[in-house]
C-alpha cells in the first residue's frame, strides 16, 4: 500500500504538469478561434476536460499526502465557528447543523483553506447520506495520545474534530472501504470516490489521522485527529 501511495503521488504530479500545459495551450488557441463556431465549442469542451483532469490530479495528490500546503497557526474554535456559519447558509431547511467548541485557546497548524475544504466535504457527504433531512453536529475536544496507544499517531497532544450525522449509517463492509480511493456508492464519474480519501490524505499530511465509525441505523461519525500547534512543530521536526 505504501508503494501504491508513492506511485499515486508521483503519477498525480506528472499528470498535473501535462494537464496544465494542455489547458494553457488550449486557452491560447481559443483566443484565435471565432467565438460561437463549432471549433470554439470543441476547444471549450477540451478545456473543461483538462480542468477535470487537473481536479482528479489534485485529489490524487491529496490522497498521497503530496499536495502543496500553506500551513499556519489557526485558532480552532474560530475556524470551526466560521465553517459552521458558512455551511449553515448552504444547507436545506430540513437539515440542522450545530457546533460544540474545543477548550479555549486551542490552536492547530494546518492549511486553512484545505481544512475548510475538508470540513465542507465531510458535511456534504453527510447531507447526501441523509437525503437532506436530519442533524449534523461538529464537536471538538483535546486528547493526549500516549506512547504505543495508536499505531498511526505519535504520542502527544491532539485535538479531535468530530463530525456526526443522523443518517442511515453504513454496514461494516462499506465502512472498511469508505476511505479507499475511487470507492463510492454513487454512480461513477471522474470525481466520484475521492472525497474521503482526499480528506484522509490531507489529515495525514498534517500530522494526524482520520477514522470512520458507523452502524446501520446509528448514523456516521468521522473523527479527525490533528496535533495541537506545539505538537505540530514536533511532527515537522521529526518528519
Compute the mean pLDDT over every residue in the chain, rounded to the nearest whole number. Answer: 81
Cα-only R_g, the chain: 20
Whole-number pLDDT of residue 237: 43
Whole-number pLDDT of residue 193: 52
Whole-number pLDDT of residue 7: 59
pTM of the model: 0.71
> How far, in Å, CA of 168 to CA of 152, rounded?
28
> How far, in Å, CA of 235 to CA of 231, rounded?
6
Per-residue pLDDT tens digits for 135-177: 999 999 888 888 877 767 888 899 999 999 999 999 988 888 8
Task: List average pLDDT for each run of 10 residues in the chain, which is 239 residues long.
Answer: 58 71 83 83 85 72 69 91 90 89 84 90 90 92 84 86 93 84 60 71 89 92 90 47
> How far, in Å, CA of 229 to CA of 236, rounded?
11
Whole-number pLDDT of residue 199: 87
Whole-number pLDDT of residue 1: 53
Whole-number pLDDT of residue 185: 64
How far from 20 is each of 51, 57, 58, 160, 194, CA to CA, in Å?
8, 11, 12, 37, 20
**Residue 131 CB contacts under 8 Å (≥ 6 apart), including other chains:** none
Whole-number pLDDT of residue 212: 93
Whole-number pLDDT of residue 238: 41
Amino acid at each position: 500500500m505504501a508503494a501504491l501511495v508513492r506511485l499515486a503521488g508521483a503519477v498525480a504530479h506528472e499528470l498535473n504538469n501535462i494537464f496544465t500545459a494542455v489547458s494553457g495551450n488550449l486557452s491560447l488557441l481559443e483566443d484565435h478561434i471565432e467565438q460561437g463556431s463549432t471549433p470554439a465549442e470543441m476547444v471549450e469542451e477540451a478545456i473543461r476536460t483538462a480542468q477535470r483532469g487537473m481536479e482528479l490530479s489534485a485529489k490524487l495528490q491529496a490522497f498521497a499526502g503530496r499536495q502543496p500546503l500553506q500551513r499556519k497557526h489557526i485558532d480552532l474554535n474560530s475556524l470551526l465557528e466560521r465553517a459552521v456559519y458558512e455551511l449553515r447558509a448552504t444547507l436545506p431547511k430540513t437539515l440542522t447543523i450545530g457546533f460544540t467548541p474545543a477548550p479555549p485557546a486551542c490552536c492547530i497548524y494546518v492549511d486553512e483553506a484545505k481544512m475548510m475544504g475538508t470540513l465542507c466535504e465531510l458535511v456534504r457527504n453527510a447531507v447526501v447520506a441523509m437525503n437532506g433531512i436530519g442533524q449534523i453536529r461538529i464537536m471538538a475536544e483535546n486528547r493526549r495520545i500516549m506512547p504505543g496507544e495508536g499505531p498511526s499517531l505519535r504520542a502527544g497532544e491532539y485535538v479531535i474534530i468530530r463530525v456526526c450525522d443522523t443518517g442511515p449509517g453504513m454496514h461494516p463492509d462499506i465502512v472498511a472501504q469508505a476511505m479507499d480511493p475511487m470507492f463510492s456508492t454513487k454512480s461513477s464519474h471522474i470525481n466520484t470516490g475521492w472525497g474521503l480519501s482526499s480528506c484522509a490524505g490531507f489529515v495525514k499530511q498534517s500530522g494526524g489521522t482520520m477514522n470512520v465509525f458507523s452502524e446501520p441505523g446509528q448514523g456516521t461519525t468521522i473523527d479527525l485527529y490533528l496535533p495541537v500547534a506545539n505538537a505540530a512543530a514536533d511532527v515537522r521536526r521529526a518528519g
